[in-house]
Structure 1
Amino acid sequence: MTNELTGKEVRIIRDLDYLALLARQHPTINSATTEIINLQAILDLPKGTEHFISDIHGEFESFRHVLKNASGVIRNKINEIFGNTLRESEKRSLATLIYYPEEKLDMIDINEREINDWYRIHLFRLIQVCKTVSSKYTRSKVRKAFPKEFAYILDELINENEDRINKYEYYNKIIETIIDLDRARSFIIAISNLIQRFAVDRLHIIGDIYDRGQGPDIIMDMLKEYHSLDIQWGNHDMIWMGAAAGNEALIANVVRITSRYNHLELLEDRYGINLLPLATFAMDTYGSEELEKFMPRGVEITEKNFKEMEMVAKIHKAIFIIQLKLEAEIIYRHPEYGMNDRMILDMINYEAGTITLGDKEFPLNSKEFPTVDPENPFILTEGEKTVVDRLKRSFMNSLRLNDHVKLLFSKGSMYKVFNGNLLLHGCIPMTEDGEFLPITIQGVEYAGKAALDELDRMARQGYFSIDPEAKEAGLDAMWYLWCGPASPLFGKKKMATFERYFIEDKTTHVEVKNPYYSDREKVECIVKILEEFGLDTRTSHLVNGHVPVKVVKGESPIKADGKLLVIDGGFAKAYQKETGIAGYTLIYNSHGMNLVSHEPFESTEKAIMEEKDIVSTVMVLESARNRRRVSDTDTGEELRIQVDDLLQLVAAYRKGYIKESIHSGYKESRTE
């Protein structure tokens, strides 16, 4: 016993400075022990629901709906609560009200004659749903989520005792008063938003918010307001991050892709990027012939819109040639990238209209390269330099874009280890024999986890550094992350963009994937990766996006005996013909893990007017024999450390190493 006490005292003396700081928050034995009791109680609460979404690609309407319905979690709660006591049509109507309260209430005001009865019925139903979805959280955490104007009322109604004999009239009177004072609409909106908030405790975005769809900025605005979020960067996010940081080659890539999908208004109107110098240059420089490959995708070309689409095609072609020149500068600076075969403009026979790739010569479908000097193909013309300078200033000075990019940096990273799972957009680059592929970064070789950590750091350096040399190195690394052969975000030997535009022979269009994408079917490969990140290979999973799962061809999202889950199922409409569905999402709650596949989402208007939810199919991946608790999570581990520290503080008080501050008072615990 003496040795144990001596050991405790040695530890107290060692940590005395820290314990003195902790004592400011808990100045008495009573406050410290009360907090220990609170934390121990939280550890026994059910684990919060995690929601995983990947490869959104600007499809903001589908994303918003999946976010609002929490991949079916809210509809499941409605079924659990009301069972057969409500008709299916009533449950659909209640779900739609929760997802889109303002829009639905606008319709109700027009169509419902007995509006007060409607309010009364739906207020009671919403309170029941809110009580259920908030029951796994502490009262403190629930109260902090309440809007101020309804905080007291919500606290009373949600924490109402099931035995309502004594308070039935009291609670009923609250509802009647809300209606009489014409506050029912505001209250319904507030409680519907709370239900959405409590349905999911943590949102994971497994990369590629940007490109292809028209609303990535709207998605970023939604994510800014989300209560608990992490993002794993995708290669399509990285180009926007690098463009905002001033990487000229990535700026060109961003403009090229937005031109390709006819979303230039995203740049001009919503991010304030000045495209006039580029448009003027393109119209003055490029003719109207040989533009077919550069016409926008997914747009029906008509006599009415032809001139506009032709202008977009010229912008598209002009910025692509500029992109090739800018990328060649980076490749030249970095021989370690091993990308000399991507210095395309040096491989063209401009007179013959052919290109030599490897030991083969291929005809080009266009000979129009008016800005390329065959003797010095990578030199920007004066007109191109002006365009690049103006675009660079616009991207770096766009307040809204940089606001969104800062969110990607603050909430994002190359990967995330969370509650025993590894979340990763692309891949862990591998060699043909199953080893981690070394990547040379600033003269040093890295592989596996170390490579991802260093690339993460380099990307942040590229955006935040004020040292010109360090910034350039970071910006170049961001470009490599977009398209480099050993990039964990790209995962292919080459990006065959030039070949797709200019060469008809489709054998040149093939982009060979890193061996990871064949090896990830093997249990031993995923076990090796999980071990690299310090995870328990018996219970952990790797959650991937990036490469769409071709369900229509029989491909499964579940690989390596369930240790790897691929949740890119085709949110982007451009991929849905390949996948056969409109995306996967993953739900991980206290009962287990479910994979949800979604049918295409028609529109927000139909979801509201016709009460059409996304048709989803749930596949139970794992079912917990014993319900998972907070104690089983990363948060639980943090809380146990806090309890240990507080126990040490209590011992320091009782052994006289720290004095209580009886009269200083203490604030209510901030623990959630």
Structure 2
Amino acid sequence: MEIKDSLIEKDLRYLKLLSKEYPTISSASTEIINLQAILNLPKATEHFISDIHGEYESFTHMLRNASGVIKRKIDDVFLDTLTQKEKAELSTIVYYPEEKLKIIQSKNYNLDKWYSVTLYQLVQLCKNVCSKYTRSKVRKALPKDFAYIIEELLHEQGDKIDKKAYYREIIKTIVRIGRADKFIITISKLIQYLSVDRLHIIGDIYDRGPGAEIIVDALMKHHSVDIQWGNHDILWMGAAAGCEACVANVLRISLRYANLLTVEDGYGINLLPLATFAMDTYADDPCSEFSPKTLDKNINKSDFELFAKMHKAIAIIQFKLEGNIIKNHPEFNMNNRLLLDKIDIDKSQVNIDGKMYEINDTNFPTVDWKNPYKLTDPEKYIIKRLTKSFVNSEKLQRHIKFLYNNGSMYLVYNSNVMYHGCIPLNEDGSFKKVKIGKFIYSGRRLLDRYDKLAREAYFLNNNIKNKKYSMDMMWYMWCGENSPLFGKMKMTTFERYFIDDKSTHHEEKIYYYKYRDDEKVCENILKEFNLKVEGSHIINGHIPVKTKNGESPVKANGKLLVIDGGFCKAYQPETGIAGYTLIYNSYGFLLTSHEPFTSIKDAVENDKDIISSTIILEQAAKRKSVGDTDIGIELKKQVLDLETLLIAYRKGYIKEQ
């Protein structure tokens, strides 16, 4: 490309600033060569995970094995030189080096030989993992303790006879001076680190499973991660911002699944006031419809009964809080969700959409039938205490800030648009226009507006009225018809508790789910996010793929990929698997389905990996390079700027320093 003098003159001020960083022709030339070389490296691996729902053991393992990437690399490096048993043990060492070393040490009588062999194998594996990165990037990832030694070993050349003894002596000395354990742990973590360059979480870290806070802790330590908020995440974000309706929903779901570990142990939320109130208010009520749905058989009978009472207590508080939001916001069009005032307590019936249904519970001691949405004084006290606990939980606030700083409603990255839920559509598949405040939004602009409101709910403190509106919108994003995170016409929480007729439990999906297998509609969505139709994808979570019923996660001829396959144990009987994950490397897309994970203990002791099946979704005709990525686009701009600077030096516009 010819660079004209007029372009140099136009950008002269910028070029002079650039010359401070590259003050000579030599330094600018060196950087051009460096960047041009980087552009031709293989594209780094991206890892996509969705709908984790607190299942921290499965998630931890998936993160450490990179959805099978490390296992495949072990197969590539060692081919038939290791048995399957040896490969399985090496895999476990990489995933859980500290834990596995303890077991090896208790069983192995010839540790020095085992150390030497294992160190050599890990170095060979690490060489393969590092091959798509520059030495500079690998060097930055090296821990200080072993940086020099690892770098020497990684660049060992097996054909150089002169240095074979040198490299053998390094490994022998590591073992002799008692540093083998530390070295194995360090290089294993380096392999994990470099196996995946970027981690994408497509929403729903929270709820149902027992360890959401453990998952967020792990994400905070990850070197490169982004999060597309899910509806369960937005609920916790709203609770942390101080939205009482979100707090009530969070606690109701936690009690529904008998999962109080995250709430109490993880974030230190004090539930004693709720427990005391529930025991007093529902002392003689078995609250059988509110019995927790749990696979945990270790919960004793008295705790189980207490959870049911607390569950009912917070559910009634939730219905009252939600009723007041709905009445304050007629624009939400959610009057059909005002059901407490539709109950005929004498007839034990409720009117839903003009039809009367029998209710299975008539014990509402805190409901004033003349003003059913008014909270009693004890209920007001409890929800304020609980909300204060959420707002003042230091760990929760730290985690939620991380979600804000690293998250968004959607992300466009390397020709893929990622969002958790959906794009609101009309019956004909066109983008639905939604009025928020005085303005109308649709498509990408609608998601941008919701994103801004979510941030205002948490960070806006100088305008109480606007903050209150934004917090109400956080609740709406959880369960509103036009929310891109919910994707259904209504949430039938009341019906599921109080009406046995299951026809009332159905939650009809919005039109997006009718059209997500329509190639033309998916192409329109890609264009809405300024992506080329060819080679671009929508990556989605939220609605579990019912694999056992023959449903495919690949929609619209490969334009849309759904990777919610049932990470959460509560969904697995319905889906038939334990989740999908997606890998995007220089060769293309790999979709992996996973069988249920037993435990980390089983993985460490018995080398049990998650049983996974991988299919190649797309294989690139030509291996993708860094130059084909978003980073590559930026690097090419930098190369052009530096080439312009070179010409400015050579033509005398700028003098070398």
Q: Assess, with a 3 A threshold, how the Cα gap between structure 1 residues 172 and 274 changes in structure 2: closer, same or farther.
A: same
Q: In the superposition, relative to structure 1, how do residues 300 and 564 fare at CA in structure 2: closer, same or farther (>3 Å)?
A: closer
d(CA) in 1 for partners of 2:633, 2:3: 24
Contact kept, 8 Å, 1:432 with 1:515, in 2: the verdict is yes
Cα distance in 2 for residues equivalent to 1:560 and 1:428: 15
Give 1:657 shift.
4.2
The equivalent position to 1:199 in structure 2, one of 195, 214, 218, is: 195
Contact 2:3–2:644 under 8 Å retained in 1: no
Q: CA deviation at 1:292?
A: 1.2
Hey, what does 2:446 align to over in structure 1? 451
CA contact (8 A) 2:229 2:408 kept: yes
Q: Give the C-alpha shift of residue 301 in structure 1.
A: 7.2
State the secondary structure of the residue aligned to 1:21: helix
CA distance in 1, matches of 2:653, 2:386: 63
Which residue number corresponds to residue 670 of structure 1?
none
Report deviation, 1:550.
0.5
Is the Cα contact below 8 Å between 2:122 and 2:187 reproduced in 1? yes
- Aligned residue for 1:601, secondary structure, equals coil
- Structure-2 separation of matches of 1:201 and 1:266: 29
Amino acid at match of 2:46: E
Distance 1:332 1:33 in 2: 66
Deviation at 1:300, TM superposition (A): 6.5
Q: Does 1:424 find its partner at 2:424?
A: no
Q: Structure 1 CA distance, aligned partners of 2:557 and 2:295? A: 42
Q: Is the 8 A contact 2:8 2:644 kept in 1?
A: no
Amino acid at match of 2:269: I
Match of 2:108 in 1: 112
The amino acid of 1:177's aligned partner reads T
In the TM superposition, residue 27 of structure 1 has moved relative to its aligned partner by 2.7
2:81 matches 1:79 = no
1:158 alignment partner in structure 2 = 154
Q: What is the aligned length?
A: 656
Residues in 1 aligned to 2:223 and 2:284: alpha-carbon distance in whole angstroms: 50
Does residue 503 of structure 1 match 2:499? yes
Matched, 1:347 2:313: no
In structure 2, how many angstroms separate the alpha carbons of the residues matched to 1:528 and 1:341?
Answer: 32
Distance 1:252 1:368 in 2: 20
Alignment of 1:161-172 (within 5 A): 161-172=157-168
Matches within 5 A, 1:26-175: 26-175=22-171
1:214 aligned partner = 210
- 8 Å CA contact retained: 2:228, 2:411: yes
Measure how far apart 1:46 and its partner are: 0.0
Bigger mean CA deviation after superposition, 279-288 or 194-203? 279-288
Paired AA for residue 362 in structure 1 = Y
1:475-518 Cα shifts (integer Å, max 9, x gaps): 11211110001110000000001100000010100000001101
| Residue 586 (structure 1) aligned with residue 578 (structure 2) | no
Counterpart for residue 632 of structure 2: 636
For 1:594-639, what per-residue CA distance to the aligned partner results, in whole angstroms no more than 9, with x for missing partners?
A: 1100011111111111111111101111111110000000010011
| 8 A contact 1:126–1:191 mirrored in 2 | yes
Q: Give SS of 1:618's match.
A: strand
Query: Structure 1 CA distance, aligned partners of 2:494 and 2:286?
Result: 15
1:521 matched residue in structure 2 = 517
Can you list the C-alpha shifts for 1:97-128, whole angstroms capped at 9, x where unaligned?
11110010000111000000000000000000
Confirm whether residue 596 of structure 1 aligns to residue 601 of structure 2.
Answer: no
Q: Measure, in 2, the Cα distance between the counterparts of 1:114 and 1:41.
A: 45
* Within-5 A mapping of 1:245-260: 245-260=241-256
| Pairwise CA distance, 1:333 | 2.2
Runs (5+) with no aligned partner, structure 2: none
Contact 1:426 1:491 in 2 (8 A): yes
Partners of 1:63 and 1:69 in 2: CA distance? 10
SS at structure 2 position matched to 1:493: coil
Distance 1:233 1:161 in 2: 46
TM-score by length of 1: 0.96
| Contact 2:433 2:440 survives alignment (8 Å) | yes
Aligned partner of 2:370 among 367, 372, 375: 375
- Corresponding position of 1:669: none
Q: Which moved further from structure 2: 31-40 or 548-557?
A: 31-40
Asked if the contact 1:251–1:392 (Cα under 8 Å) also holds between the matched residues in 2, the reply is: yes
Residue aligned with 2:99, SS:
helix
Q: Which residue of structure 1 aligns with residue 11 of structure 2?
A: 12
CA distance in 1 between partners of 2:568 and 2:581 (Å): 14
- Output one character per residue of 1:275-325: Cα deviation in whole Å (capped at 9) or x when no partner: 1111111111113425112111115679x8221111111111111111111
Gapped runs of 5+ residues in structure 1? 662-672
**Which secondary structure state, in structure 1, belongs to the residue aligned with residue 178 of structure 2?**
coil
Task: Provide the identity percentage.
Answer: 56
DSSP 3-state at the match of 2:77: helix
Structure 1 position 163, deviation (Å): 2.4
- Could you tell me which residue of structure 2 aligns to residue 668 of structure 1? none
Checking the alignment, whether the CA contact within 8 Å between 2:592 and 2:612 is kept in structure 1 is: yes
2:269 to 253, 265, 273: 273
Task: Describe how 1:331-480 pairs up with structure 2 within 5 A.
Answer: 331-466=326-461, 467-480=463-476
CA distance in 1, matches of 2:87, 2:488: 47
Counterpart Cα distance in 1 of 2:485 and 2:376: 32
Residue number among 312, 315, 318 corresponding to 1:317 in the alignment: 312
Q: Deviations over 1:28-87 (max 9, x none)?
A: 332222111111110000000111111110111111111111111111111111111111
For 1:1-30, what per-residue CA distance to the aligned partner results, in whole angstroms no more than 9, with x for missing partners? 9x96432233223xx1x3343333223332
The partner residue of 2:601 within 580, 586, 605 is: 605
Amino acid at match of 2:493: T
Q: Matches of 2:291 and 2:474 in 1, distance apart?
A: 28
Q: 2-side partners of 1:168 and 1:288: how far apart?
A: 79
The structure 1 residue matched to 2:238, chosen from 225, 239, 242, is 242
Tell me the CA shift for residue 359 of structure 1. Answer: 1.2
Corresponding residue for residue 231 of structure 1: 227
C-alpha contact (below 8 Å) 1:417/1:423 kept by paired residues? yes
Mapped contact 1:12–1:652 kept (Cα < 8 A): no
CA distance in 1, matches of 2:634, 2:507: 44
Residue pair 2:424, 2:510 contacting (<8 A) in 1 also: yes
Counterpart residue type for residue 628 of structure 1: K
Question: Does structure 2 conserve the Cα–Cα contact (< 8 Å) formed by 1:290 and 1:366?
Answer: no
Kindly indicate whether the alpha-carbon contact (under 8 Å) linking 2:286 and 2:309 is maintained by their aligned counterparts in 1: no
Question: Is the 8 Å Cα contact of residues 255 and 310 (structure 2) preserved in structure 1?
Answer: yes
Deviations 1:566-601 (A, max 9, x none): 111100000101111110011110011111000111
Q: What's the secondary structure of 1:67's corresponding residue?
A: helix
Confirm or deny that 1:485 pairs with 2:481: yes
Q: Which moved more, 1:259-268 or 1:649-658?
A: 649-658
What secondary structure does 1:36 align onto? Answer: helix
TM-score where L is the length of structure 2: 0.98
Distance 1:550 1:506 in 2: 20
Q: 1 CA distance for matches of 2:79 and 2:295? A: 46
Is the 8 Å Cα contact of residues 429 and 516 (structure 1) preserved in structure 2? yes
Residues 181-227 of structure 1, C-alpha deviations (whole Å, 9 max, x = no match) = 10000000000001111111111111111111001110001000111
Q: Determine if contact 1:260/1:295 at 8 Å carries over to the other structure.
A: yes
Amino acid paired to 2:270? N
Moved more, 380-389 or 470-479: 470-479
CA RMSD of aligned residues (A): 1.5
CA distance in 1, matches of 2:3, 2:607: 65
The AA in structure 1 aligned to 2:266 is: R
3-state SS of 2:523 partner: helix
